Structure 1
Amino acid sequence: MKAASLNEIRKDLQAADEDTVRKICIRLARYKKENTELLTYLLYEADNEQAYIENVKEDITELFTTLPKGGNTYFIKKTLRKILRFADRQIRYSGIKQTELEIRIFFCTKVKEARVPLQPGTVLYNLYQQQLKKINAIFEKLPEDLQADYEREVKVL
């Protein structure tokens, strides 16, 4: 089966009645956890972005409590990647650059607070540097007034 293009799907959804669209959304939500999470964001959290950011920060803080204490960098790396996948998924749901910037800054701050060993040349160091690159790329695209708001936080990282 060949998948229809997004344009074709959009046209057919506009032509369909409200009840059919509702059934399609519910059926779509059953098959993948990400679809359910995206629908939850769109229905309940998209109207209050700041509360959404705070919820994501709380979830990230909770995930950081699972970070292994000790010197085994393998398990630290696996846990950080798990947290980063969660953060990236939440960023994708929002699609707002300011939200992405806040979540990435918070992630890097939590990494520093957890005192993760970031010796140059390690996977952990590269992971952290990639986040800094993404933060700087987003930061440069923001308007000047928002850049002034986040400038101090970015410099601390």
Structure 2
Amino acid sequence: MKPEKLSDLKKVLLVLSVPELTEICLRLAKYKKENKELLAYLLFDANQPMKYAEDVKSFLIADFNNMQKHYFYSTKSLRKIIRLINRYAKYTGSKQVETELTIWFCTNYLTYADLRTSHKPLQGLLTRQFEKITKLLPKLHEDLQFDYQKEFEILIIKAAQQAKWVNKSEYL
């Protein structure tokens, strides 16, 4: 069985009544956690995406605080945090929120991760996030681009000072 096209689904949804739409939404939310999270975002937080980003940060800071120092376990924890950040940023559909959360992740990475390790997967997490930020910045509005560019430059300089494996000339 193949899924219907979005245009066909839209046509059918337009003719349904409010109680039928409500039933369909609740049924979707019932079967998958991500659907329930997206529905909750759309109903309660969609009008304030930056406040939602702050809520995500306060939720994820506990994962940073509980992260183990051993490089293997910290890599797993950081991957989990990145997965969650990507999921929550996807709900908003906003490049500004995605940039904000990614810069926040990098800042906390520098605070909580062991920067003296030569464990390549752990180092790769930070470098991939830096690359992601460099791709996100041109997609923002000019004013936001300028603000986040300054914040990113400060972050790169701080990272290069704390970790000798970070090459700041790649990102600046």
| % identical equivalent positions | 39
Q: Structure 1 residues 118, 27: CA separation in 2 closer, same or farther (over 3 Å shift)? A: farther
Residue number in structure 1 paired with 2:50: 50
Residue number in structure 2 paired with 1:132: 130
Output aligned runs, 1:73-88, within 5 Å. 73-88=71-86
Q: Distance in 2 between matches of 1:32 and 1:51?
A: 25
Quote how far apart the aligned CAs of 1:15 are. 1.4
Question: What one-letter code is carried by the residue in structure 2 that aligns with 1:113?
Answer: T
Q: Distance in 1 between matches of 2:4 and 2:120?
A: 43
- The counterpart of 1:122, out of the listed 116, 120, 123, is 120
Alpha carbons 1:64, 1:110 under 8 Å: kept: yes
Q: Distance in 2 between matches of 1:2 and 1:142?
A: 36
Unaligned runs of 5+ residues in structure 1 are none
Q: Distance in 2 between matches of 1:67 and 1:103?
A: 18
Alpha carbons 2:46, 2:92 under 8 Å: kept: yes
Runs of 4 or more above 2 Å deviation: 115-121
Q: Structure 1 residues 118, 15: CA separation in 2 closer, same or farther (over 3 Å shift)? A: farther
Unaligned runs of 5+ residues in structure 2 are 156-172
Residue number in structure 2 paired with 1:41: 41
Q: Distance in 1 between matches of 2:11 and 2:73?
A: 47
Quote how far apart the aligned CAs of 1:35 are. 0.2
- CA offset digits 1:77-136 (Å, max 9, x no partner): 111111111111100000101000000000000000114336567011111111111111
Alpha carbons 2:71, 2:119 under 8 Å: kept: no
Q: Distance in 2 between matches of 1:5 and 1:115?
A: 44
